[in-house]
Amino acid sequence: MTRASDTQGGRVALSKDGLPGWLDPVVHAVETVRPSQLSRFLPPEDGAGRQSAVLVLFGEGTHGPELLLMERASSLRSHAGQPSFPGGALDPEDGDPRGDGPLRAALREAEEETGLDASGVQLFGVLPRLYIPVSGFVVTPVLGWWREPSPVGVVDPNETARVFTVPVVDLTDPANRATTVHPSGHRGPAFLVESALVWGFTAGIIDRLLHFAGWERPWDREKQVPLDWRA
């Protein structure tokens, strides 16, 4: 593997070789899921929207499989204070948005935001591109296996409030699941984990991955968490 910072102009490849067996259901889900099964918000047909990518990074911690998340700084203009996957907009040097550009961008942004050593990450799949209407981003979720874990933490406090991992067993615990209700009427899945409320786009991706990987457990969809207009 090469570091994202060393791959400008070079090829960043996907590989399923040597993945742990517990990731098999995720690999199958990535290979078979359709865009409409992930979200009703799909990229505009006219090509509008800012191309971006996020890194959905699976590792293995003391409590088993886990996901890497970060909490965005409260001072940011977009999605302030929200837990999210590392990621951001593609830069020109990342390359073709419809090629390996999103792979390179996901690794680069993760390095910049969390200090992740991308040389220890094996990218194994890409989900269909989705759309975030509120910010106009067209997002490619890039999935990776944290083959060689490295220290992570806040790199720039102006962008990131904290970096943390969440055990998958906590994400599948029905006690930690809820439905957010925005004043606009929009409802979506949420997770109350690691002293954080994970909702919005990030929660939607996690919810669908758990579902299509067969890891989802029955939970009370009537358990609601209200959001305010600033969310």
Rg over alpha carbons for the chain, rounded to the nearest Å, is 17
Cα angle value 219/225/229 (rounded, 5°): 145
Question: Using the 8-state DSSP alphabet, how is residue 129 labeled?
Answer: P
What domains lie within the chain, and their CATH numbers?
21-166 (3.90.79.10)
Among 130, 143, 140, 142, CA closest to 25: 143
Cα–Cα distance, 137 to 220 (Å, whole number)? 31
Residue 79 has pLDDT above 90, yes or no: no
Structure tokens at 48: 């509008």
CB-CB contact of 42 with 48 (8 Å) = no
Look at 65-69, 75-79, 84-88, 142-146 and tell me which has the smallest mean pLDDT.
75-79
The backbone region for 47, taken as left when phi is positive above 0, alpha when psi lies in -120 to 50, beta otherwise, is left
* One-letter amino acid of 133: P
* One-letter amino acid of 72: R
Structure tokens at 94: 């990342």
Longest dimension (CA), the chain: 49
What confidence score (pLDDT) does residue 154 get?
94
pLDDT tens sequence across 186-220: 899 999 999 999 999 999 999 999 999 999 999 99
Question: Using the 8-state DSSP alphabet, how is residue 77 labeled?
Answer: S
Cα–Cα distance, 213 to 215 (Å, whole number)? 6
Cα–Cα distance, 193 to 170 (Å, whole number)? 7
What confidence score (pLDDT) does residue 82 get?
84
Among 33, 63, 81, 53, CA closest to 141: 53
Structure tokens at 125: 């799949």
pLDDT band at 7 (very low <50, low <70, confident <90, very high): very low
